[in-house]
Amino acid sequence: MKPAERISRLPHQLFAGLVRQVEEKRRQGIDVINLGQGNPDQPTPPHIVEALREAASNPLYQRYISFRGLPTLKEAVAEWYWKHHQVKLDPSREVAILIGSKIGLEEISLALVNPGDRVLAPDPGYPDYLSGVQLAGGQLVPWALTAERDFLPDLGAWPDNTRLAFLNYPNNPTGRLATETFLDAVIDQALRHHTVLAHDLAYGDIVFDGQKSISLLSRPGGIDAGIEFTTLSKSYNMAGWRIGFAAGNAEVISYLELLQDHLHCSQWGAVQEAARVALLGPDDSVVALRDTYQARRDAFVAAASKAGWDVPPSQGSIFVWCPVPARHSAMEWASRFLEESAVMAAPGTGFGAHGEGFVRVALTEPVPRLEAAARRMAAILG
């Protein structure tokens, strides 16, 4: 049996492949340090777990709820945006609840992009941007992120008739931040080109060295220009809960919600209630988590430096973007790290052609394991 053409167009799923490789090594009895996948290793804060327990016993959440999510969670999203980014939102019109931001970042292409429409996406960038574009039949235009431009895309490379443009800061995989000046220029460009912006703010709370992330919606014209995607997976260690949200332009939000009406019936209400508690609760656990990742970043970078490998520290996210010598491809280096040092790192080219020369390391292991991984990898680079 042959699949539909849209299935054949889908790119290789990088992370599923990495997980399979690690599982095979572990079946062989090899203790692999898995730094290839951004899977948070810390538990969900207890008050959020308790909120789920209480909500699970509520008969209201044992039935279908509104396809478009709990109004109380949308209100909590609006409160969160005001508290963290001083953005005022209408929760009934400018917020959509998502079954994780991953699915929303794919659905936005299905909601907006016609076959052949141009879509700008960062290269290197999160692979699921491409998945949604391919399912919609759009024409992907890679938006190069290079060290020479501090991993910010060239706004001069903006084709006419671009329907959608993805942004992601703090950036996965490079760990870089965007400036207000850059975001203002992007918004101006998008409004002039009638391009919808989709900003992925998944790592907005994981920012280091006293810096802060910037919401697209907080900048002049940002809400007019597009929408922003946020997840509870990283800030609250809720990756397995599959809950996130989109916020911004009311017209674009309405298209996204209409599509979701046909695709699924919203996330379980008890999970949404727990998410509401997370967003409205104290930030202590988020601050502690950020500090944990910063300590891990510092430990990995220091161990690599001591072993003779110069790795620039990331500014945010849960990743470090590590340069590797040009004598081998990024894919070959990742394979060598796994086979010769039992460390899984994601090859930079898994995120796009401009990821050549790098591997991505996830800070999802304790400090001693990260230091050991840095030493092992540096020895291979030798």
Residue finishing a domain among 280, 298, 331: 280
Instruction: Check residue 181 and report its DSSP letter.
Output: H
Last residue of a domain, one of 248, 280, 312: 280
Domain match, 40 and 50 both = no
Question: What is the predicted pLDDT for the residue at 30?
Answer: 86
26 shares its domain with 55: no
Residue 211, amino acid: Q
Indicate whether 106 and 37 sit together in one domain: no
CATH code at position 162 = 3.40.640.10
Q: Are residues 136 and 252 in the same domain?
A: yes
Q: 76 and 24 share a domain?
A: no
Handedness of CA 333, 335, 338, 340 (dihedral sign): negative
* pTM, to two decimals: 0.95
Q: How remote is the C-alpha of 296 from its chain's centroid? A: 19
My answer on whether 305 and 334 are in the same domain is yes
Question: Which domain, by its residues, includes 288?
Answer: 5-44+284-381
Residues 241 and 289 placed together within one structural domain of the fold: no
How many independent structural domains does the chain possess?
A: 2
- At residue 16, does pLDDT exceed 80? no
Give me the mean pLDDT over the 371-378 stretch.
Answer: 98
Q: What is the crossing angle of helices 101-112 and 250-263, to 10°?
A: 100
Whether residues 351 and 208 share a domain: the answer is: no
Using a pLDDT cut of 70, give the percent of the chain over it.
Answer: 99
Domain co-membership, 50 together with 31: no
| Single-letter amino acid, residue 352 | G
Q: Which of 250, 280, 310 is the last residue of a domain?
A: 280
For 208-259, the pLDDT digits (tens) are 999 999 999 999 999 999 999 999 999 999 999 999 999 999 999 999 999 9
Residue 9 belongs to a domain with what CATH number?
3.90.1150.10
Residue 376, classed as helix, strand or coil, is: helix
Q: 8 falls in which pLDDT band (50, 70, 90)? A: confident
